[in-house]
Amino acid sequence: MFRRPLVPVFAIFFCVLLGTANGQLTDEVRERLQKEIETAKGKLDPGRLPNLVAIKQDLMKQVSEVEEYLDRYTEPENRDAWLKYLNLDPLVTAIRDSESEGLVAREAEALRDRLIGTVPGLELTIFQRLRDSVGQLVKAVRFQDPDNSVKLIEAQLSALAKIIDMADEVPSPDHFSAISLRVALLNSAGQAPGLVDSVREVFGQSNVAIKVSAEMIDQVLGREVSRTLPVKDVILGTRLTGTAVMNGNVGGKLIPSGSDAKIELSLKGTVDTKNDGVNGPIRLKSVSKGTVSLTRLLTVSADGIEFGKTESEVSISTSITDMKANSDLALRVGRKQAAKKKPQADRIAKEKLRTRVTEQFESEMEDIEANASSKLLDQAKPILERLSLTPPSQVWRSSADELAVDVNFRAEDQLSSVIGPTVFQSTSLFSIQVHESAIENAFTVMLAGRTLDEERLNELMDSAGAPKPEKPEEEEDAPFEISFSRSRPVIFEARDGLLRVGLRGTRFAQGDRNPLNKAMEITSTYEVVIDDKSGAVLKRVGEVEVDFPRERLSLRDAGLKPIIQKEFSAIFPENILDQSIQIAEDAEMETLRGREFRAKEILVTDGWLSIAFQ
């Protein structure tokens, strides 16, 4: 979102997916949901609302366990640093002193915000349990009055019915967000679980899709093999020394599979050896020619990477080019024994060759196995946990032409897409497609209702994969602070060929100036252009826009508008994807080192940003 598009922010989630074949919000679907809403109104149960007393008790228990954990497993200096960072006392004191529930909720939200961040260690289970308990407390305070809560939920169900009736078959971002907020409300209140499941089923298709072509697979895995290895062996009493030269090709071929992705790794080549042999008084020279064909099946699924058994076909033909002995008798005996034992010797040499090349083939696969196992997800997992993001679900599949992974990134109270990703008009090496819901789901958890200064905002974005915005060196403006809206804190709209990205805030402050306490939208709109040099590019349309929906500005407030515009011009660049994506020269996969990829095709439609690379 800073120097590159929002897509790379979610690169840590591209190895995961859950896909269900649902349709759009058709009239038939609307009618079914309307009936379920009416049914849910008659089954609201105050007894299912969160129990505030029990949740407070659990919170106090989690606090004690955190303190005990820090006492037991950390050094005093580290313990004190964690307790200072967490600042548990205000919330604990508010609960113990039976302060107002409003104060308890504010302190709980402040603690929850501290538990969502980039600090290493926040991914520890002890802190995750505390964060979950604090989150439950925030929800429980909202429903402390059962009678009013039931009335609130009933009103929200009526609002949900109206929104579903008004929404298009592919709902607008505002309608999607409104539906999502009410589903989250029902879920947190423990009400209408059947309706929640039904809405999530309708809005249940994957919201990230990645495809990798067979050509790209072969480019990454394929390479020529040329090795010269020493030979030291004993066959039927003859000690052999010499060299073996193997020449061949390693390749990767996709195997069709609907339940996972399958790649057949293969090595095909020849082996030529020249050996000197000694057997008693006999000295001989021999050559052999062999062919090898090895295959190993790699299966990728939600459970990770599995390597199958290596299958091999090996042939070898050996001939003696010279034989010497210290007497004619010894030479005749040697030749006779060599001819007699040749079939057996060839069988032994064949199996030794099979063993040798199989071990070498599998040793080369160790690098692929180490890099291709769920390493990316393993690296992403602590980041997701620190940011309180639910690990995405995943489905893999493969055809003869491409490997595909579909990702559904949402928590148990969130929605995804009602429509599948756009179909590209051309082929490419690989493609990435991101739906609006993936962005909203992630940033709602990370930013909704929070106040962040410029440094902490940059840390969060950097942790998610977006580089820090670059300001001109001569600019030394005071850092800014922004409070994010609770609804759609990040704007990401991919509609009708235009990508609109931005932030929604409720407060902006900078330096000694009086803060601006107004609802605001800071956005930038991009269109797709084709550049002869850069390929497909997202180009900003006009300047960064700062709007204040439904707000009237005083002269002082209006003076802050150009300041906000200037600050965020560094965040929203004029062009996205105008630079190639370059793989580092020290990348672990040798075949990818230094390679450059450019966007070949960009589609922006029906909530999907789709980018194909070549």
Helix axes 173-189, 146-166, angle to 10 degrees: 150
* Residue whose entry in the numeric block shows the structure tokens 């802050």: 560
Closest CA relative to residue 480, chosen from 453, 513, 520: 453
Q: What average pLDDT does the segment 472-483 reach?
A: 71
Is the pLDDT confidence value at 396 over 50?
yes
CA geometry: angle 130, 136, 142, nearest 5 deg: 145
* Model confidence pLDDT, tens digit, residues 414-444: 999 999 999 999 999 999 999 999 999 999 9
CA distance 233 to 275: 10
Could you say which of 184, 202, 220 is where a domain stops?
A: 202
Stronger pLDDT, 205 or 372, i.e. the higher one: 205
Q: Is residue 506 part of a domain?
A: yes
For the stretch 79-134, pLDDT in tens is: 999 999 999 999 999 999 999 999 999 999 999 999 999 899 999 999 999 999 99
**Which pLDDT score is estimated for 471?**
56
Residue 332 and residue 468 in one domain: no
Per-residue pLDDT reduced to its tens digit, 222-240: 888 888 888 888 888 889 9
Q: Are 121 and 82 in contact (CB under 8 A)?
A: yes
Residue 558 inside a domain? The answer is yes
Shared domain for 380 and 311, answered yes or no, is no
**Residue 209 near residue 425 (C-beta atoms within 8 A):** no
- 253 with 391: CB under 8 angstroms? no
In a domain, 240, yes or no: yes
Distance CA 233, CA 489 (A): 69
pLDDT band, very low/low/confident/very high, at 477 (cuts 50, 70, 90): low
Q: Is the pLDDT of residue 371 over 70?
A: no
Last residue of a domain, one of 164, 179, 202: 202
Cα–chain-centroid distance for residue 228?
41
**Tens digits of residue pLDDT in 125-184:** 999 999 999 999 999 999 999 999 999 999 999 999 999 999 999 999 999 999 999 999
Q: Mean of the per-residue pLDDT values for the chain?
A: 88
Contact 311, 283 (CB under 8 A): no
In the chain, the number of structural domains is 3
At 110, list the tokens.
Answer: 């402040």
Task: Give domain status of residue 320, yes or no.
Answer: yes
Q: Would you state the pLDDT for residue 55?
A: 97
For the stretch 557-612, pLDDT in tens is 777 788 888 888 878 889 999 888 888 888 777 788 888 999 999 999 999 999 99
If asked whether residues 501 and 402 sit together in one domain, one would say yes
The beta strand positions in 158-258, using DSSP E, are 208-213, 223-235, 238-255
> What integer pLDDT is reported at residue 586 of this predicted model?
82
Same domain, 451 and 579: yes
Question: Which residues make Cβ contacts (< 8 Å) with residue 340, sequence separation at least 6?
Answer: none
Give the percent of the chain with pLDDT over 90: 64
Residue 207 lies in a domain: no
The residue-averaged pLDDT of 356-368 equals: 77
Whether 53 and 154 share a structural domain? yes
Helix residue spans in 7-88 (DSSP H): 27-41, 52-73, 76-86
Could you tell me the pTM of the whole model? 0.86
The predicted structure's pLDDT at residue 604:
97
Residue 356 pLDDT greater than 90, yes or no: no
Is there a single domain that holds both residue 473 and residue 411?
A: yes
DSSP-assigned beta bridge partners for residue 317: 289
192/244 same-domain check: no
- H helix intervals, 551-610: 555-569
Indicate whether 368 pLDDT > 90.
no
pLDDT of 479 higher than 90: no
Does the structure show a pLDDT above 70 at 5? no
22 located within any domain: no
On whether both 57 and 92 belong to a single domain, the answer is: yes
- Nearest alpha-carbon partner for 355 in 237, 233, 253: 233
Examine the domain organization and report whether 461 and 559 are in the same domain.
yes
Angle at 13 between CA 9 and CA 19, to 5 degrees: 125
Q: How confident is the model at residue 450 (pLDDT cuts 50, 70, 90)?
A: very high
What pLDDT is attached to residue 400? Answer: 96
Distance, in Å, from the CA atom of 402 to the CA atom of 213, rounded to the nearest integer, reads: 4
pLDDT reported for residue 19: 33
Residues 6+ apart with CB under 8 A from 254: 214, 217, 261, 262, 263, 264, 398, 399, 400, 401, 402, 403
| The pLDDT of residue 555 | 78
Domain ranges, residue 308: 212-372
* CA–CA gap between residue 55 and residue 62 (Å, rounded): 10
Q: Residue 222: what pLDDT?
A: 86
Does residue 2 form part of some domain? no
pLDDT at site 469: 57
Question: In this structure, are 198 and 222 located in the same domain?
Answer: no
In a domain, 170, yes or no: yes
Tens of pLDDT, residues 492-525: 999 999 999 999 999 988 887 788 888 999 999 9
- Is 235 found in the same domain as 175? no
DSSP state of 161: H
Same-domain pairing of 367 and 335: yes
- Long-range (24+ apart) CB contacts under 8 A made by 324-329 are 324/282, 324/283, 324/284, 325/281, 325/282, 325/283, 326/281, 327/281
Distance between CA atoms of 298 and 289, rounded to whole angstroms?
Answer: 30
Q: What is the pLDDT of residues 10-48, one digit of tens each?
A: 333 333 333 333 458 999 999 999 999 999 999 999 999
pLDDT for 310 = 92
Does 360 score more than 60 pLDDT? Answer: yes
Identify the domain boundary among 314, 338, 372: 372
The closest alpha carbon to 84, from 39, 109, 119, 33, belongs to 119
Closest Cα to residue 480, out of 446, 456, 450?
456
- Residue 516, by phi and psi: left (phi above 0), alpha (psi -120 to 50) or beta? beta
